[in-house]
Each structure stands twice: as structure tokens, then as C-alpha cells.
Amino acid sequence: MAPKDTLSSVADPTARRERSAHHQAPRKSPAPASKSASKKSATGTGKLSRKALVAINFASVAAGLGAWAIVSSAGIVGLPGPGEVLIRGGELLADGTLAEDTGASLARVLSGFLIGSLLAVPVGFLMGWYQIGRAIIEPWVQFFRTIPPLALLPLVMVTMGIGETPKIFVIFLAAFLSCVISTYQGVVSVDKTLINAARVLGANSMVIFRRVVVPASSPFILVGMRIGLGAGWATVVAAELLAAPNGLGMRMQQAQQFYDMPTILVNVIVIGILGLLMDRLLLMIEAHLTRWQERR
């Protein structure tokens, strides 16, 4: 999962390109000059076909699982084996615990993420579009950006209690901060020539905003949302470790007290898979909405 590096590189628009290139690398051949031309043939490093790369992906995962099985059966660190974890996963699935926890964690992260992104887009636009807006908002964003949202949890719990509100709030904050900076970057980096081109075709400020600035910054906004979702996901699990009636993080914390290793591992794996799925989903949406972009 990516959230660790994403938090630090939120403000860097070039990080975007590297990241998406990195994410696509295992699936597509790296850096296709034109998508259609080089999809099938191996380009870039030039030796392996896409099929071979996918096969290597699977082989790598299988090898990892094998190593895990060996380590656990040898009893080296007291780790339960894949089979045991799979059985525990089946039990948790059957008694509805897993569904309940997943639902609770997802509900928290999605509500925080949605509120955060929805608020971040207009605020980011205000910062990018109006100098005065930027002057007012920027110090706050820059300050809170340096604080890991989780570090605010004790404060938030004292002021907001231990219900859903403080958890959703820290997720909101995590999502908001990554998305707002990205949106702002998108607005300020809109090509001035495009704005002039619209002006000479008769566009007023409102039209320029709606038909040039918004679409031109959409790739940045989507990247911000993706980073925000990753950050939110990382935050929710940790927030649940502290105090929650349910959720994947809380279940792990509870299992830890009973030395219930299989349950912990089931939740770790579910967290990883869900995080990966959400990231891929947003990546697909992003690729679809920004397919007009020139990719190098």
C-alpha cells in the first residue's frame, strides 16, 4: 500500500506521473509512446511480454505464500500458517463478523473521504483562483499537512467523544488535506495559453472557470482523491485500534488481547486487499476520465 509515501509527496505534481507509471508498470509495458501501438509488443526494457510479467507476479505471490507456510510450520516466530488463517477467515465470514467489520470500516472511510474530497475541491479552487483565498487558507493547510491526522486523534476524542464522529473527522482531515493541495496545484498549473485561447473565443471568467480550469485540473483532483483515499484507509484502521465498537482495526486489537494470531492476519490481509481494490478502482476511474491526457 502506498499511503506512507503519498502523504509526503502530496504537493508535488510530478510525483503523480511517477506514481501512476509505477502503478501501471506491472500491468502494461512501461512508458508506451502510443498506447495502441505498444500494448502487445514488449517495449521499454524490451524483453518480457505482458503475459510473462503477469506470470511472474503470480509466481512471486505463490513463492511468498510458500515461504510463509514454511516459516510457520517450522514454528520460527509462532506465526499461524496460510491454511489456518484461511480457515479462520472462513469462520469470521460465516458468523458475519468479517462483513460487519468490513462494512463499518468502509463506511467510516468512505464518509470521511467523500466529505473531505467534496470540500477540498472548492477550497482548492478558491486557493488557486483567488490570491486572497490562497493567502487566507494556505497557512492552515500547510500547518495541518505536517501533522499526521492520527496525531490529532487524542485531541479529537477529548472534544468529540469516542463515537463515530472523531474517527470520521480524522479520515476527513486526511482526505481533505491531500485533495486540497492537489486541486490547488492543478488550478495554478493550468496552461495560461488555454485561458487566453478561451478568452479570445469569447469566454468570460465564469466560462473559463467551468470549461477550462475545471477540466484542466481534473487530473490533479483525481490524483489527490486517490491519495486521500489511501490516507483515509490507513487512518481508519489505526483510529479503530484506539476505540471502536467494530471495524477491522478494532477486531485486530481485540484479537491481540486473546493472542488470536489467525484473526489478526485475516484482518491484515482483508485491509490490504480492500486498500488495493479501492486504489485500483480510483485508478481506473482516473484513467477513464483523463484519457485525453498526453502520456509520455
Q: What is the 3-state secondary structure (H, E, C) of the chain?
A: CCHHHHHHCCCCHHHHHHHHHHHHCCCCCCCCCCHHHHCCCCCCCCCCCHHHHHHHHHHHHHHHHHHHHHHHHCCCCCCCCHHHHHHHHHHHHHCCHHHHHHHHHHHHHHHHHHHHHHHHHHHHHHHHHCHHHHHHHHHHHHHHHCCCHHHHHHHHHHHHCCCHHHHHHHHHHHHHHHHHHHHHHHHHCCCHHHHHHHHHCCCCHHHHHHHHHHHHHHHHHHHHHHHHHHHHHHHHHHHHHHCCCCCHHHHHHHHHHCCCHHHHHHHHHHHHHHHHHHHHHHHHHHHHHCCCCCCC
Query: By CB under 8 A, is residue 212 in contact with other proteins?
Result: yes
- Out of 37, 136, 151, 197, point to the residue binding other proteins (CB under 8 A): 197
Query: Of the listed pieces 46-54, 86-94, 206-214, 239-247, which binds other proteins according to CB under 8 A?
Result: 206-214
Query: By CB under 8 A, is residue 206 in contact with other proteins?
Result: no
Q: Closest separation between CB of residue 189 and other proteins, Å?
A: 14
- Out of 196, 256, 273, 280, point to the residue binding other proteins (CB under 8 A): 196
Instruction: Using CB under 8 A, count the residues that bind other proteins.
Output: 21
Query: By CB under 8 A, is residue 203 in contact with other proteins?
Result: yes
Query: By CB under 8 A, is residue 202 in contact with other proteins?
Result: yes
Query: By CB under 8 A, is residue 201 in contact with other proteins?
Result: yes
Query: By CB under 8 A, is residue 199 in contact with other proteins?
Result: yes
- Segment 214-253, which members bind other proteins (CB under 8 A)? 215-216, 218
Query: By CB under 8 A, is residue 171 in contact with other proteins?
Result: no
Query: By CB under 8 A, is residue 18 in contact with other proteins?
Result: no
Q: Closest separation between CB of residue 156 and other proteins, Å?
A: 39
Q: Would you say 5 or 191 has its CB closer to other proteins?
A: 191
- Interface with other proteins (CB under 8 A): 191, 193-194, 196-203, 207, 211-212, 215-216, 218, 291-294
